[in-house]
């Protein structure tokens, strides 16, 4: 197992998920739920499913597009989204 890749992936996803809509949704759902474990299991399964889709798409795209260009495109999308959120009117 590539522990460096494992650690980098874990840290990146963990930090990215802190305080986002997903975590806030889990917080609000568990606040009113009778079974916190059901909410935890559903959240964990949802994150696993969405991650599986992303990994499958990444693997498929890498057959046609260089991983370097995929990283560049992802970085550019993040920058554009950040700028759009910063200049969004009405806030």
Q: Which of 60, 65, 47 is nearest to 10 (CA)?
A: 47
Q: Enter the pTM of the model.
A: 0.68
Token pair belonging to 31 = 């606040």
* Among 32, 63, 26, 72, CA closest to 45: 26
State the SS3 of 61-91. HCCCCCHHHHHHHHHHHHHHHHHHHHHCCCC
Is the Cα dihedral 30, 36, 42, 48 positive or negative?
A: positive
- The per-residue pLDDT string of the chain (91 residues; one tens digit each, 9 = 90 and over) reads 999 999 999 998 888 888 788 888 899 999 989 999 999 999 999 999 999 999 999 889 989 999 899 889 989 998 998 899 888 876 5
Confidence (pLDDT) at 55: 92
């Amino acid at each position: 197992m590539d522990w460096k890749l494992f650690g980098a992936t874990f840290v990146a996803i963990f930090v990215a998920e802190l305080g986002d809509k997903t975590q806030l949704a889990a917080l609000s759902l568990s606040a009113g739920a009778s079974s916190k474990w059901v909410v935890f299991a559903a959240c964990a399964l949802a994150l696993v499913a969405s991650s599986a889709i992303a990994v499958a798409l990444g693997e498929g795209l890498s057959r046609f597009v260089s991983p370097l260009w995929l990283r560049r495109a992802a970085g550019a999308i993040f920058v554009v989204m950040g700028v759009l959120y910063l200049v969004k009117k009405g806030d």
